[in-house]
Amino acid sequence: MNRSTPASSDTDLFADEVVIDPYPTYAELRDLGAVVHLPANDVYALTRYDVIRDALADPGTFSSRTIGFNSVVNEALQGTSLASDPPIHTELRATLSENLSPRALRGLRDQIHTKADALVADLVARGSFEAIDALARAFPLEVVADLIGFTGEVRDNMLRWGQAAMEVIGPMNQRTAENFPIAGELYGWCTGVRAGDLAPGSVGRGIFDAEDRGAIPSGTAGHIIHQYLGAGVDTTIAALGNIVALFSAFPDQFDLVRGDSALVPAAFNEILRFWAPVHAWGRSVTRDVNIDGTLVPAGSQVAILFGAGNRDPRHYENPDAFLVQRNPVDHLSFGYGPHGCAGQGLARLEAHAVIGALAVHAQRLVAAEPVRLPSNITRSIDALEILKVVPA
Amino acid sequence: MKKIVIDRPRCEGHGLCEEIAPDLMHLDDAGELILDVEDIPEGSPELTDAGAAVRVCPVAALRLA
């Protein structure tokens, strides 16, 4: 076995120009190697599909102890399912997903579809609209707020709290430093929240009931609610914004979905593959490990680049083309394995509802250039003016 | 002969396996995964479907033994 040193690059993964459009960087790094050492970030980046999927399936070697890229956030996340490894992870995950799995969400399907349909019909009727605030943000904020039972002040803070919770996972740069106080507001609120603060009959209230019954450990209900909000809002907003942007940019592909509603799930898979909502996610290497013929030493920090793996030509033919009929069911944007996105069932419900509603109500979306702001972890569109919508 | 094995605690009912291999497995009314066929002959078309179902499970709750 060849145990040479991985290739190295002076790329800064979190530089403004990289996080705004990481795809040229992903291609360069992928060409250098399946794993590339980045001294600027003190990480080993995983760039190709196979090594990413293998790492996600092997929590024994790639520990979630350091999913973030600064020690403060990693310390703060200790004890959550996000930052733990099996066997402890297994129990925490079960508690987290009990109310979030597709099984638990089955009853919500019709309600979510009705909401999406009404919202999209209204926007289409306006003739022009700003798609991020009016749809990509408005819809998941309403769905998640109703699901968890948020009311009043929290509802108003969900967007900024959710953005900050993702931003602080980055390295200790200016964006992370500026967002820690905001992420702290969320943490503080979740530490103090009580059953009575959440709407009766909501999932959030149910988590407190589970704590009262002893079904989950005392004092953990607030942490679970923290994860719903911290992990589930910003990423879903990114995915929904990408739906509108990509359907606007590729009208021929939108036409295919309009012509065949069975393509809705495939289209969402391709949207997630084409633009990954999460830029980089960490792991910590527990032992000396051979990755694609090179040695990554025990204790190294890894950066998993989901978006780079999703465009790996070794795995997907013509990977830079956006093709809704491709149906890449094994894309990496939800991660994979024991830590695979716990909210992916809800994300699919919301996205399928939005895609279905757009396909029914709109024939053509004409968009201005998407506005993007640099951010460490979530890659999302900040503003997307739909200048003209042709109704179906 | 191969066997499809579910890691029951890990299965969350995402149902992607059912979409790709509807002849081999389905989610029941409670959203629990039921294996309609467990033993799969080597070289059969069912083995291809079973492999695809294993591959598509987002939480790696299925394997072929």
What is the nearest CA distance from A348 to chain B, expressed in angstroms? 10
Tens digits of pLDDT across chain A (392 residues):
456 999 999 999 999 999 999 999 999 999 999 999 999 999 999 999 999 999 999 999 999 999 999 999 999 998 888 999 988 888 888 888 888 888 888 888 999 999 999 999 999 999 999 999 999 999 999 999 998 998 888 888 999 999 999 999 999 999 999 999 999 999 999 989 999 999 998 889 988 988 898 878 888 888 888 888 888 899 999 999 999 999 999 999 999 999 999 999 999 999 999 999 999 999 999 999 999 999 999 999 999 999 999 999 999 999 999 999 999 999 999 999 999 999 999 999 999 999 999 999 999 999 999 999 999 999 999 999 999 999 99
Residue A110 pairs in a beta bridge with none
Contact residues for A100 (Cβ-Cβ < 8 A; gap 6+): A203, A228, A342, A343, A345, A346
Q: Where are the domains of chain A?
A: 7-391
DSSP string, A288-313: -EEETTEEE-TT-EEEE-HHHHHT-T
Instruction: Place domain A7-391 in its CATH homologous superfamily.
Output: Cytochrome P450 (1.10.630.10)
Q: How many domains does chain B have?
A: 1
CB nearest B56 (choices: A104, A330, A338): A330
| B15, B20, B58 member nearest A340 (Cβ) | B58
Cα-Cα-Cα-Cα torsion A174, A175, A178, A180, nearest 10 degrees, comes to -120
Residues 6+ apart with CB under 8 A from A156: none
Domain limits at B43? 2-64
Phi-psi region of A172 (alpha: psi -120 to 50; beta: other; left: phi over 0): beta
**What does the DSSP assignment read for A173-200?**
SHHHHHHHHHHHHHHHHHHH--GGGS-T
CA–CA gap between residue A209 and residue A190 (Å, rounded): 16
B13 vs A218, residue with greater confidence: B13
Determine the pLDDT at residue A79: 83
Contact criterion met (CB < 8 Å) for A345 and B12: yes
Nearest to A35 by CA among A52, A23, A47, A24: A47
Look at residue A315 in the predicted model and tell me its pLDDT.
98
8 Å CB contact of B10 and A338:
yes
| Mode of pairing for the β-strands spanning A294-296 and A289-291 | antiparallel
Write out chain B residues lying below 8 Å of A336, CB-based. Answer: 58-60
Query: Which DSSP string do the residues of A313-351 spell out, in sequence order?
Result: TTTSSSTTS--TTS--TT-STT--GGGS-TTHHHHHHHH
- Cα–Cα nearest to A390, from A369, A361, A368, A370: A361
Cβ pair B60:A336 closer than 8 A: yes
Q: How distant is the Cα of A380 from the closest Cα of chain B, in angstroms? A: 23
Residue B26 in contact with partner chain A when CB distance is under 8 A: no
Interface check for B22 against chain A (CB to CB < 8 A): the answer is no
pLDDT of residue A106: 84
Q: Six-digit token pair at A290?
A: 């051979």
Q: Which position has the token pair 């987290």?
A: A96
- Residue-level pLDDT at A2: 52
CATH number, domain of B16, equals 3.30.70.20
ipTM value > 0.90: yes
Tokens matching residue A316: 């997907």
**β-sheet bridge partners, residue A44:** A37, A302
User: Measured between CB atoms, which of B12, B20, B30 is closest to A97?
Assistant: B12
Question: In A, residues 331-370, which contact B (CB 8 Å cutoff)?
Answer: 334, 336-338, 340-342, 344-345
What pLDDT was estimated at residue A3? 67
Residue A106's closest chain B neighbor by CA?
Answer: B31
**pLDDT (average), residues B46-54:** 96
Residue of A nearest to B33 (CA): A103
3-class DSSP state of B65: coil
Structure tokens at A187: 């943490």
Q: Which tokens in the block code for residue A2? A: 């060849």
Give me the pLDDT at residue A168, please. 98
Which pLDDT score is estimated for A153? 80
Give residue B45's pLDDT: 92
User: Do A37 and A139 contact (CB within 8 A), yes or no?
Assistant: no
Residue type, A145: A
- Two structure tokens written together for B34: 């039921």
Q: Do B14 and A90 touch (CB under 8 A)?
A: no
Side chain identity, residue A129: F
**Closest Cα in chain A, distance from residue B42 (Å):** 24
Mutate to test the interface with B, among A56, A96, A106, A327 (most CBs of B within 10 A): A106
Among the partner residues A94, A102, A344, nearest to B31 by beta-carbon distance: A102
Q: Tell me which of B10, B17, B54, B56 to substitute to probe the interface with A (most A C-beta atoms closer than 10 Å).
A: B10
Q: Find out whether A204 and A149 touch, Cβ atoms under 8 Å.
A: yes
Cα nearest neighbour of B9 on chain A: A94
A288 touches chain B (CB under 8 A): no
> Does B9 sit within 8 Å of A338, measured CB to CB?
no
Cis bond upstream, residue A87 (ω within 30)? yes
A136-172: b or e for each residue (b if 16 or more CB lie within 10 Å)?
A: bbbbbbebbbbbbbbeeebeebbbebbbbbbbbbbbe
